[in-house]
Amino acid sequence: MGIDRRLSRLAHGLIHMSQHEGVATSQSIAKMFGTNPVVVRRMMAGLRKDGIVGSQKGHGGGWMLTKKLENISLLDIHQALGNSNLVSINLTNEQPQCLVVQAVNDALEKSIIEAKTLLYKRFAEISLADIAGSFENKKQNLTENQKTALCPSSQS
């Protein structure tokens, strides 16, 4: 499987979006990720499909949140991105009639499903508001000077 940074990038982007008035353009979001507006649109399209964000075309357009941070879980974002594998171990599909293969795949699948289930559970428990909250806590320990240098990419 590839190196999937979409979940972490989107969580980052959505939290910054909630801290600004008005819409955010694909361009401004792309700056946070050091990437291209088209990459942002591709990721956001999945979120829009699931009602997490909305988009507005034309002059003054862009992206806006259509849910509150506390109602967006990491699982919501993960699922909006389409079901990826999550665990990168696959079962053999050769010799499916072989009882050894079946026993091996059964054992692997049970363990993998357990791990996936736990990860889904944790992702469902964590909302973007939770994450933003832990961020606010950290921020209160900084001086005013440090605050202005927090995330340059979110300020343009």
Partner DNA sequence: GGCTTATGTAACATATATAGTTGCATGAAA
Partner DNA sequence: TTTCATGCAACTATATATGTTACATAAGCC
Of residues 48 and 129, the one with the C-beta less far from DNA: 48
- Contacts to a copy of itself from residues 44-103, by CB under 8 A: 74, 78, 84-95, 97-103
Interface residues with DNA (CB under 7 A) are 1-6, 9, 25-27, 33-39, 41-45, 48, 55-63, 84, 90
56 binds, among DNA, a copy of itself, none (CB under 5 to 8 A by kind): DNA
Q: Is 127 helix (H, G, I), strand (E, B) or coil?
A: strand
Distances (CA, A) of 90 to 1, 93, 100, 108, 124: 11, 9, 16, 9, 24
Name residue, tokens 């399209």.
45
Per partner kind, with CB cut-offs from 5 to 8 A, the member of DNA, a copy of itself, none near residue 107 is a copy of itself
Dihedral sign computed on CA atoms, order 47, 51, 52, 53 = positive
Q: In terms of Cα–Cα distance, which of 57, 62, 53, 61 is closest to 80?
A: 53
Site string for a copy of itself, 11-50 (x = CB under 8 A): xx--xx---------------xxx----------------
